[in-house]
Structure 1
């Protein structure tokens, strides 16, 4: 052990630094405190987490949002395999942000080692990658799955580079593990964007091998990488198979309806509609925040000092500034934003310079990937470019919020920056290649700070609303100018200092190691000081404080007094379909999710948003919360016409199309009639029933519903539960015998019930989950077994290797 540490002391030191640095930044997490998330993520998973805590059983269905939906994108506590435990090990088995950011630094360090970067620069580069400001914004706002994928990305890049540069087998296995981690990280959009950014690398290597007349070698490497990809997909089958099955029925799936109802999301188009998908598109000026953190104000709730103009305005109007000041300083083109996507001034400058100084052809991948992500983030504001991807690139139109593509850019920028700096310090080049691009950025920063207020209006998209709220826009404008100016000057000064230290090295005035320390420390200082706007110790709260945030309102308490908890709530006091806050306390017909069931989105567009009471009644909407004159004065209305959990109908109306099915909900009696698509006509030999008897919900679990029926003749029961099928998880039983059920009223379930006293059970048991779990265990065993075998093989002397793995 001592010999190992002595031989690898730099790597051991790096790991210790990463752990200590992560601990220093997030030490309140070790005290049991948690971040006070600004998003409503806690409401999404509350029901299934409570159920798991109480029973030890995982439910893959929740009824807390949108009438009911799978939890695959909400709380995917899937069956575990060996790759999961390897992932946990990379986090030191710490499941908070300390472990997450540690793994991000560790993986970037591995990437730096693959490229032969000096350990000192590799350590600083790893910190700058992991603590890129956008990662802290993702952490603060509760986008944990997105952050997972971002922090795993260096391992994927490292595997690809190793496969092409040194060892195709080990590289492919590292790539496979990185891909498995990424997919298990549970944010397909980020994995997809990373894939787009890596495609130019494949083109660069294809050209290189073609020029060297080694296309056969290129094909071999690609073959190993494909095997690695299939293994990665296999290890994530327990997640992928259910998600693939689910995605077909979501807003991102194939069209259901022919008639479009909304300019936002409709099933009349495959994927997401253009307007809905492009809603969060960067403006060109927003891109400046890549290297000037608050070029356009940073966020809609930007932290200001107590000496700011806005703070003085608040005090003048009798408001306290004791607990800090936040103001709507952001004036870019996004509808709103929680924070800046900032790569670091010095880091960005080094990347920019590296494009001019690196001799490796891989720099063209770095440049292309960076430009690709920056331009795609413009979305509708660069329509001619984005339209091509939206219309022709597979799967691109399944995702929304174009600006989020920049979440995968930091790995590219940080890689180019510190790899490029390593080469600049290792091989002295013409200093003009460093000076001109670097000085150009410095001049731009100072020039923007000085001149931006003169040639840009700095008017935000929400300024009219702020004026209605009583804010003085002139005061806000003055602070916008101050923030933009100071941020620009800070970036320019940091770039200048870094440039000066490189100049000192080239003039033999500063030693190489000192240059590394100066630039590394300045880069880390830059990012950490910026990040304090989003995550700092005061943002952490103990459990009691967090519970206060989710304390029920007066109206919630009033509703919760109902002895029968199996009803739904329609909360009009909040942005109903953009917030999951109400889902923390109730089963709601609203919520927040980017991949809700398409049928339910159609119901929102055509009926719920228009307050169709027949539809609200069939969803068992027993309570409606409406706004009061001020916050805390919300009122609750009881809907006595809600139909309950299940009921029998007299008549079945067969319709020929999905459009007729949903249009039929405009004028019908849900208590007496069920509207059924002709695809289920054979299930119903009789279209009329003599309604009698009773049906009642007797037992409720998120993934299991039990009813008792008592009738004198056969009946058709309609349930106020969301249809998800056929054969996608919900299974029906009558007296413990499996039976078929069908869809009624476009989104609900219906079931033929025989005469007599019967026990009816619906149970959510996705076959895709069971199959996927078995496949995952097999593939993870193969992957890790191969990694151990080839890893040990590579450490043996050449003449004693079990298998020759000479790189191509």
Structure 2
């Protein structure tokens, strides 16, 4: 063991540095504290997490949002396999941000080793990649799954590069493990964007192998990579199969209706509608924040000093600034933003210089991938480009928020920056190739800081609303100018210092190791100082403080006094379909999710948003929360016409199409009539029933509902539960015997109930999950077995000898 450590001490030191650096940045997490997330992610998963904590069982269905939906994109505690435990090991089995960021640095370090970068630069590069400001913004806002995929991305790139540059088998296996981690990271959009960014690399290598007349070798490598990809998909089958099944029924799936209801409806197109998908498109000026962190203000709640103009304005109007000052400084083209997507001034400059200095065809991949992601982030603001991807590139129109594509860009920028710097210091080149692009960026930064207030209006999209709130826009404008100017000057100065240190090396005035330290430390300082705007120790809260954030309001407390908890709430006091805050306390008909069921979105567009009371009644909407004159004065209205958990109907109305099915909800009596699509006509023995008896919910779990019915004749029961099927998880039983159930009223479930006293049970047991779990275990065993076998065979003889040595 000592011999191994002695031989690999630089790598051991790197791992130690990564651990210490991650601990230093997130040490409150070790004290049991957590970040005070600004998004409503907590409300989404509250019900199923509480259920798992209380019973030890995992529910893959929640009734807390949109009447009910699968939890695959919300909280999926899927069956574990060997790859999961390997992933946990890469985090040192620390399931917090310390472990996450450690793994991100470790994987980027592996990537740097594949490219032969000096360990010192590799260490600094790994820190700069993991602590890219956007990663901290994702952490602060609770986008943990997105962050997972971003931090796993270097392992995928490392595997690809190793496959093409040295060892196609080991490289393909590393690629497979990286892909498995990424898919299990649970954000398909980020994995997809990373795939788009990697496609130009394949083109570069195809051209290289074609030019060398080695296309057969290229085909072999691609074959191994495809095997690796299939293995990765196999190890994630427990997640992929249910998600694939679910996605067909979401807003990203095929349309159900022929007639479009609204601008933002996606029911008439396959995938998301253009307007809905293009929300959060960067403006061209937003891209400047790639290397000037607050070029357009940073965020809608930007931290300002107590000497700022806005702070003085607050004090002048009798408001305290003791707990800090936040102001709407952002003036870019996004509707709102929680923070800047900043790669680092020095890191970006080094990347830019590397495009001119690297003597490797791979630089064309770096350039193309960076440009591709930057341009795609413009979305509707570069429509001619984005339209091509939206209309013709498979799956692209199933994702929204174009600016989020920049979450995968840091691995490209940091790779090019530190690989390029390594080559500049290893092989001296014409310094003009370094000076001109670097100095050009320096001049741009200083010029933008000086001139931007003169030729840009700096008016934000929400300024009219801020004026209505009583803010002095002139004061805000003055702070915007100050923030933009100081941020630009800081970036320019940091770039200049880094450029000067490289010049000193080329003039033999500074040693190489000192240059590495100067540039590395400056780069880390730049990012860490910027990141403190988003994540710092004071942002962490203990459990008591976090619980205060989710304390029920007066109206929530009033509703929760109901002895029967199985009802739904319609909260109009918040953005009903853009917030999951109410879902923390209630089963709601609103919520927040980008992949809600298409049928439910149709219901929102055509009925719920228009306050169709018949629809609200059939959803068992017992309480409606309305706004008061001010925050804290919300009022609750009880809806006495809510139909309850289940009821019998007299009449069945058969309709010929889905459009007729949903339109029929405009004028019907849900208590007496069930609207049934003709596909279920043979299920029904009669179109009318002699309504009698009773049906009542007797037991509730998120994934299991039990009812008791007592009737003198056969009945058709309608349940105020969301339809998801057929055969996609919900299974019905009468007296423990499996029975078929159908869809009613476009979104609900219906079931034939025989005469007599019966126990009816609905249970959510997706077969796709069971099948996927078995496939995942088999593929993970094959993948890791192959990695161990081929890894041992490719190791150096002396390392094999050490491995076989047993400790005494």
- Determine if the TM-score, normalized by the shorter chain, exceeds 0.5: yes
Please say if residues 576 and 591 of structure 2, whose CA atoms lie closer than 8 Å, have aligned partners that are also in contact.
yes
Q: Partners in 2 of 1:530 and 1:112 — Cα distance?
A: 25
Please say if residues 251 and 601 of structure 2, whose CA atoms lie closer than 8 Å, have aligned partners that are also in contact.
yes
SS in 1 for 2:624: strand
Please say if residues 167 and 805 of structure 1, whose CA atoms lie closer than 8 Å, have aligned partners that are also in contact.
no
1:246-279: per-residue Cα shift (whole Å, max 9, x none)? 0000000001000000111321110000000001
Q: What CA RMSD, in Å, does the superposition of the two structures yield over aligned residues?
A: 2.7
1:218-264: per-residue Cα shift (whole Å, max 9, x none)? 00000000000000000000000000000000000001000000111
Match of 2:477 in 1: 477
Q: Partners in 2 of 1:449 and 1:806 — Cα distance?
A: 63
Quote how far apart the aligned CAs of 1:806 are. 30
Quote how far apart the aligned CAs of 1:795 are. 1.2
Please say if residues 68 and 722 of structure 1, whose CA atoms lie closer than 8 Å, have aligned partners that are also in contact.
yes
Call closer, same or farther: CA 1:806–1:654 in 2, change over 3 Å: farther
Please say if residues 306 and 325 of structure 1, whose CA atoms lie closer than 8 Å, have aligned partners that are also in contact.
yes
Match of 1:490 in 2: 490
Q: Partners in 1 of 2:10 and 2:646 — Cα distance?
A: 66
1:410-445: per-residue Cα shift (whole Å, max 9, x none)? 000000000000000000000000000000000000
Q: Partners in 1 of 2:39 and 2:462 — Cα distance?
A: 20
Please say if residues 571 and 625 of structure 1, whose CA atoms lie closer than 8 Å, have aligned partners that are also in contact.
yes
Call closer, same or farther: CA 1:620–1:346 in 2, change over 3 Å: same
Please say if residues 278 and 380 of structure 1, whose CA atoms lie closer than 8 Å, have aligned partners that are also in contact.
yes
Please say if residues 291 and 348 of structure 1, whose CA atoms lie closer than 8 Å, have aligned partners that are also in contact.
yes
Q: Partners in 1 of 2:295 and 2:432 — Cα distance?
A: 28
Q: TM-score, normalised to structure 1's length? A: 0.99
Q: Partners in 2 of 1:36 and 1:732 — Cα distance?
A: 41
1:756-784: per-residue Cα shift (whole Å, max 9, x none)? 00000000000000000000000000000
Please say if residues 148 and 182 of structure 1, whose CA atoms lie closer than 8 Å, have aligned partners that are also in contact.
yes
Q: Partners in 2 of 1:27 and 1:807 — Cα distance?
A: 35
**Higher mean C-alpha deviation, range 108-117 or range 798-807:** 798-807
Q: Partners in 2 of 1:227 and 1:805 — Cα distance?
A: 34
Gap runs ≥5 in structure 2: none
Quote how far apart the aligned CAs of 1:799 are. 15
Call closer, same or farther: CA 1:316–1:803 in 2, change over 3 Å: closer
Quote how far apart the aligned CAs of 1:216 are. 0.1
Q: Partners in 2 of 1:795 and 1:554 — Cα distance?
A: 66
Q: Partners in 2 of 1:673 and 1:423 — Cα distance?
A: 75
Q: Partners in 1 of 2:117 and 2:242 — Cα distance?
A: 41
SS in 2 for 1:802: helix
Q: Partners in 2 of 1:195 and 1:637 — Cα distance?
A: 49
Please say if residues 176 and 232 of structure 1, whose CA atoms lie closer than 8 Å, have aligned partners that are also in contact.
yes
Q: Partners in 1 of 2:476 and 2:264 — Cα distance?
A: 32
SS in 1 for 2:470: coil
Q: Partners in 2 of 1:719 and 1:8 — Cα distance?
A: 64
Q: Partners in 2 of 1:763 and 1:180 — Cα distance?
A: 30
Please say if residues 60 and 71 of structure 2, whose CA atoms lie closer than 8 Å, have aligned partners that are also in contact.
yes
SS in 2 for 1:438: helix
1:100-145: per-residue Cα shift (whole Å, max 9, x none)? 0000000000000000000000000000000000000000000000
Match of 2:277 in 1: 277
Match of 1:569 in 2: 569
SS in 1 for 2:408: helix
Match of 1:535 in 2: 535
1:341-389: per-residue Cα shift (whole Å, max 9, x none)? 0000000000000000001000000000000000000000000000000
Call closer, same or farther: CA 1:391–1:381 in 2, change over 3 Å: same
SS in 2 for 1:801: helix
Between the two proteins, the alignment pairs up a number of residues equal to: 808
1:602-659: per-residue Cα shift (whole Å, max 9, x none)? 0000000000000000000000000011100000000000000000000000000000
Quote how far apart the aligned CAs of 1:803 are. 18
Call closer, same or farther: CA 1:509–1:744 in 2, change over 3 Å: same
Structure 1 runs of 4+ aligned residues shifted over 3 Å read 796-808
Q: Partners in 2 of 1:363 and 1:778 — Cα distance?
A: 38
Call closer, same or farther: CA 1:132–1:806 in 2, change over 3 Å: farther
SS in 2 for 1:94: coil
Q: Partners in 2 of 1:382 and 1:18 — Cα distance?
A: 39
Please say if residues 792 and 800 of structure 2, whose CA atoms lie closer than 8 Å, have aligned partners that are also in contact.
no
Q: Partners in 2 of 1:30 and 1:99 — Cα distance?
A: 11
Q: Partners in 1 of 2:508 and 2:566 — Cα distance?
A: 76
Call closer, same or farther: CA 1:177–1:799 in 2, change over 3 Å: closer
Q: Partners in 2 of 1:803 and 1:248 — Cα distance?
A: 49
Quote how far apart the aligned CAs of 1:571 are. 0.3
Call closer, same or farther: CA 1:16–1:620 in 2, change over 3 Å: same
Quote how far apart the aligned CAs of 1:328 are. 0.1
Please say if residues 167 and 806 of structure 1, whose CA atoms lie closer than 8 Å, have aligned partners that are also in contact.
no
1:44-82: per-residue Cα shift (whole Å, max 9, x none)? 000000000000000000000000000000001000000
Please say if residues 169 and 805 of structure 1, whose CA atoms lie closer than 8 Å, have aligned partners that are also in contact.
no
Q: Partners in 1 of 2:184 and 2:364 — Cα distance?
A: 30
Q: Partners in 1 of 2:17 and 2:536 — Cα distance?
A: 20
Quote how far apart the aligned CAs of 1:293 are. 0.1
Please say if residues 4 and 802 of structure 2, whose CA atoms lie closer than 8 Å, have aligned partners that are also in contact.
no
SS in 1 for 2:104: helix
Q: Partners in 2 of 1:378 and 1:570 — Cα distance?
A: 35
- Whether 1:131 and 2:131 are equivalent positions in the alignment is yes
Please say if residues 793 and 801 of structure 1, whose CA atoms lie closer than 8 Å, have aligned partners that are also in contact.
no
Call closer, same or farther: CA 1:426–1:697 in 2, change over 3 Å: same
Q: Partners in 1 of 2:769 and 2:805 — Cα distance?
A: 37
Call closer, same or farther: CA 1:801–1:13 in 2, change over 3 Å: closer
Q: Partners in 1 of 2:447 and 2:155 — Cα distance?
A: 38
SS in 2 for 1:803: helix
Call closer, same or farther: CA 1:765–1:52 in 2, change over 3 Å: same
Quote how far apart the aligned CAs of 1:556 are. 0.3
Please say if residues 794 and 801 of structure 1, whose CA atoms lie closer than 8 Å, have aligned partners that are also in contact.
no
SS in 2 for 1:391: helix
Please say if residues 42 and 584 of structure 1, whose CA atoms lie closer than 8 Å, have aligned partners that are also in contact.
yes
SS in 2 for 1:123: helix
Mapping for residues 219-298 of structure 1, pairs under 5 Å = 219-298=219-298
SS in 1 for 2:29: helix
SS in 1 for 2:803: coil
Please say if residues 572 and 625 of structure 1, whose CA atoms lie closer than 8 Å, have aligned partners that are also in contact.
yes
Call closer, same or farther: CA 1:794–1:802 in 2, change over 3 Å: farther
Q: Partners in 2 of 1:721 and 1:186 — Cα distance?
A: 27
Quote how far apart the aligned CAs of 1:685 are. 2.4
Gap runs ≥5 in structure 1: none
